[in-house]
A and B are shown apart, each in its own frame.
Chain A
Amino acid sequence: MNEFLKIVLRFIGLLILQIFVMDQINFLGFINPMIYILFITLYPFDNNRLAFLLLAFGYGLILDTFQDTGGAHAAACVTITFLRPVFLRLVYGESYLMKNLRILTSSLDRILLLVLMTTFVHHLTFYSFVIFDVSQILELFKMTLSVGIATVVVGMTLLLIMKPKRA
């Protein structure tokens, strides 16, 4: 299957998964894992960054309209899109573009590290927007941590399922 179809499938699939499954979990009353960000994590490396930014913005905005959070998802998605090269450089080394990698085929610890960093930054930005109050910084960290852990757990599970067997 060519790249474009894969991207489209990921886009729609993850959105549906998020809206219909994840948002209904309400673990402990407030935790909903946000696995839709895997779309941004798994996006190809050599991309037109401008288009990628706009796409991520639209992606987050769609989720905002479903959850009525008014732009917080969009801001968080755009942030992780912009910082993705930084994360990739940290995890895979300076010349990650040269190596012809694919995330899904790389080792588990690298995948975990990538997902961890992306989730952390995304959730921090997202909950800053939602709470919007500097004095409630403890609440911010609590939400980030709890939802982040849930997201990482569910996300890693999903990736392990999707990971192609080393052939």
Chain B
Amino acid sequence: MQHIINFLIKYRNLLLYLVLFSVALVFTIQSHDYHRNSFIHSTGNVTGSVLETRNDIYSYFDLNRQNTYLSEENARLRMQLLALGDTLLGQESTLIFSDSLPFIVMPSRVIKNSYDKLDNYITLDVGTNEQIKTDMGVITSNGIVGIVDVSSKDFSRVISILNSEISLNAQIKGTSTIGSLTWDGTDPYKMNLMDVPRLARVSKGDTIITGRQSTTFPPDIQIGVIEDAMLIDNGSRYKIEVRLFNDMTDLGHVYVIKNRDKAAIKVIDTLSNE
């Protein structure tokens, strides 16, 4: 206490000067609008950055609770989504993929699935009543499912991608390298990308997406990720193992894609051969 008083006495002139200076400053700021605004602006910046830092620290401690809240909201919204996807209530909607080309999709439910045979088929609960025709692509939010094979009035059969007869056009994301995606019947989670030339840039972890040459699927839909790449045919081509994003053993709701320009593209494609 004595030290404080000694300090005050020793520097009394300076302290009084500073006090009077501040009082005069306050008078000036109070009496002119420009000064007041300028002062509030600069102090606002300082207090703003300090409070922002404080907020960052507080919100870090709150992360646990935020996490719980978000997962509950997630579950709630998923349930809502599933209810909407129910075909009894479902209707045609438009999804926009890349290229900003809107595609008309029909949500539907899988009522029969198989993945253990060499040639697998999936049955959906939509049919010609909903204008589902042959050769329409079927996808989920995770990846591709297959191509419509036959459709009756109420139901359709889809050739699953886990089918040895199917060969899809797929592309490595970020390059224009394309190949054919086939299934060898062993693992329902993996497919093979064939016919990729040796000079292509291939690395583990690259994403495989649908290419642009397909009329069935819109481009840039994610299919899977590269797990392994081997050179075959005396080292002239790659055989790439792709792990699918889609869990084919657990399909619930899918979307059937009605590509509107398919007829026109097909006509042009066949014209060039003549």
Contacts and interface: CB of A to CB of B under 8 A. Distances in A.
Contact of A79 (B16, B21, B28): B21
A19 B38 CA distance: 30
A132 B34 contact: yes
Interface stretch (A29-37, A65-73, A102-110, A144-152): A65-73
B26 interface: yes
A74 B30 CA distance: 14
Contact of B24 (A49, A68, A74): A74
A74 B20 contact: yes
Nearest to A69: B28
Interface in A73-88: 74-75, 78-79, 81-82
Given A70-B30, A82-B13, A82-B14, A132 B38 contact: yes
Given A53-B13, A132-B35, A78 B21 contact: yes
A81 B25 CA distance: 16
B262 interface: no
B17 interface: yes
Contacts of B13: 49-50, 53, 82
A60 interface: yes
Contact of A71 (B14, B17, B25, B38): B25
B12 interface: yes
Given A53-B17, A133-B38, A71 B26 contact: yes
Given A132-B34, A132-B35, A133-B38, A70 B27 contact: yes
Interface residues of B, number: 20
B67 interface: no
B32 interface: yes
Contacts of B23: 57, 71, 74
Contacts of B24: 57, 60-61, 71-72, 74-75, 78, 129
Contacts, number: 64
A54 interface: yes
Contacts of B12: 50
Contacts of A23: none
Contacts of A129: 24-25, 28
Interface string A6-20: 000000000000000
Interface string B31-61: 1101100100000000000000000000000
Contacts of A78: 17, 20-21, 24
A81 to B, nearest CB: 8
A78 B24 CA distance: 9
A71 B31 contact: yes
A74 B27 contact: yes
A131 B28 CA distance: 11
Nearest to A78: B20
A132 to B, nearest CB: 5
Given A75-B25, A78-B24, A79-B21, A68 B16 contact: no
Interface string A40-59: 00000000011001100100
Contacts of A68: 31
A78 B32 CA distance: 20
A94 B32 CA distance: 42
A126 to B, nearest CB: 10
9 contacts: A61-B24, A68-B31, A69-B28, A69-B31, A70-B30, A72-B24, A82-B13, A132-B34, A132-B35
Query: Which 8 pairs, one residue from A and one from B, show the smallest C-beta to C-beta distance?
Result: A71-B27, A70-B31, A75-B24, A71-B24, A71-B28, A74-B24, A82-B17, A57-B20
Given A53-B13, A54-B20, 19 more contacts: A50-B12, A54-B16, A68-B31, A69-B28, A70-B28, A70-B29, A70-B31, A71-B26, A71-B27, A71-B28, A74-B24, A75-B25, A75-B28, A78-B20, A78-B21, A81-B17, A82-B13, A129-B28, A132-B28
